């Protein structure tokens, strides 16, 4: 298996390392995995993990939506401040740079 690993790219090695770490954690918790001896219901285990994943993904999406809403609020405030400051053109440099940065961040957050 070592020969095969050496052909992987950096990101593929990272994925493999995560799987390896999970196997080690499972070994620590449940002992060595031996198919003929381990009597766990693997279909049930898989279904429980899929359901947990759905919950985790939903929570992550909710958190992202909250963050996007907060960024939108900040953008609205900065936009309002920039419009108010338009009369004093010399004061615009910093708010405009901040607005551009936040708008770029916001675009990256769009699903």
31: left (phi over 0), alpha (psi -120 to 50) or beta: left
Tell whether the model's pLDDT for residue 100 goes beyond 60. Answer: yes
What b/e readout covers 29-61, taking b as 16+ CB neighbours within 10 angstroms? eeeeeeeeeeeeeeeeeeeeeeeeeeeeeeeee
More confident residue, 77 or 22: 22
Phi first, then psi: give them for residue 36, nearest 5 degrees.
-70, -20
Tell whether the model's pLDDT for residue 17 goes beyond 70. Answer: yes
State the pTM of this model.
0.56
Residue 99's pLDDT is what? 73
Residue 90's pLDDT is what? 57
Residue 92's pLDDT is what? 55
């Amino acid at each position: 298996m070592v020969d095969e690993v050496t052909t992987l790219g950096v990101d593929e090695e990272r994925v493999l390392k995560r799987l390896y770490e999970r196997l080690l954690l499972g070994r620590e918790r449940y002992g060595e995995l031996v198919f003929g001896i381990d009597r766990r219901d693997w279909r049930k285990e898989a279904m429980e993990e899929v359901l947990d994943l759905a919950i985790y993904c939903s929570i992550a999406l909710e958190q992202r939506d909250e963050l996007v809403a907060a960024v939108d609020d900040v953008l609205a405030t900065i936009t309002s401040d920039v419009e108010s400051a338009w009369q004093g053109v010399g004061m615009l440099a910093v708010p405009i740079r901040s607005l551009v940065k936040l708008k770029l961040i916001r675009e990256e957050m769009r699903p």
